[in-house]
Amino acid sequence: MQEYMPYIVSIICSLIAGVASYGATRRRAKTDLQIIVKQHEDDIESLERKHQMEIEKITLEHRHQLELQEKEFEAQLSSSLISEAIKLPEVRLEISKGMRKGKR
């Protein structure tokens, strides 16, 4: 038994060191995993905020384009109405009356 004692002590020390190393590595892996999960959650929140801001930007641009189209349509409509109104003889008569009054 005396001759096996150094081997037994070496095996026991190796087992203790292995178990301790495994426990430390497992704890470290858990904390690393928690850190990574937290970082991913923060990244997701950041991307969601960025996405929401992009949606708001696109919505504002769309509203602006609609307003511009509406104003262009109103301008076209009013110019076409004016050109049609000028073709009417009653309107021409009123315009010429107004011009005569303005010359006096």
Read off the pLDDT of residues 35-66 as tens digits, 9 standing for 90 and up: 999 999 999 999 999 999 999 999 999 999 99
Amino acid in position 96:
S
Which residues have CB under 8 Å from 91's CB, separation 6+? 85
What span, in angstroms and rounded, lies between the C-alpha atoms of 3 and 17?
A: 23
Instruction: Please tell me whether the overall predicted TM-score, pTM, comes out greater than 0.75 for this model.
Output: no
What span, in angstroms and rounded, lies between the C-alpha atoms of 33 and 91?
A: 82
Taking residues 87-102, what's their average pLDDT?
A: 74
Least confident span in 26-40, 65-79, 87-101: 87-101
What span, in angstroms and rounded, lies between the C-alpha atoms of 70 and 67?
A: 5
What span, in angstroms and rounded, lies between the C-alpha atoms of 41 and 16?
A: 38
How much is the pLDDT for 18?
94
Taking residues 55-81, what's their average pLDDT?
A: 91
How much is the pLDDT for 102?
67
Taking residues 60-75, what's their average pLDDT?
A: 94
Taking residues 60-84, what's their average pLDDT?
A: 88
Give helix then strand counts, H and E, for the chain.
2, 0
pLDDT > 70 fraction of the chain, expressed in percent and rounded: 97
How much is the pLDDT for 65?
96
How much is the pLDDT for 104?
60
